[in-house]
Amino acid sequence: MTTKAIFYHAGCPVCVAAEQQFATALDPQRYAVEIVHLGESKERLSEAEGYGVKSVPALVIADQPFHINFGASIEQLR
């Protein structure tokens, strides 16, 4: 069984670096990673905030938010 992980980003340089080095580094045997571009999928901003995501890039693993460096705040994406 795989655990759901969601990587939220906004296409920023910090986001791209985190996606390339980080979101792709998770063990595919254990984690199913969904990549969500919040700049393009604004309808998912509320979902991200519901997990406690304050800024991107962020990775939600098992419903827990982990902010990775800082690219942009959720407010800036609205």
Q: How far is the CB of 13 from a copy of itself (least distance, A)?
A: 12
Nearer to a copy of itself among residue 18 and residue 38 (C-beta): 18
Nearer to a copy of itself among residue 6 and residue 65 (C-beta): 65
Where does this chain bind a copy of itself (CB under 8 A)? 5, 17-18, 21-22, 25-31, 59, 61-62, 64-70
Single-letter amino acid code for the residue at 15? C
Contact 75, 8 (CB under 8 A): no
Q: Are strands 3-9 and 31-37 parallel, antiparallel or unpaired?
A: parallel
Residue 40 DSSP SS3: coil
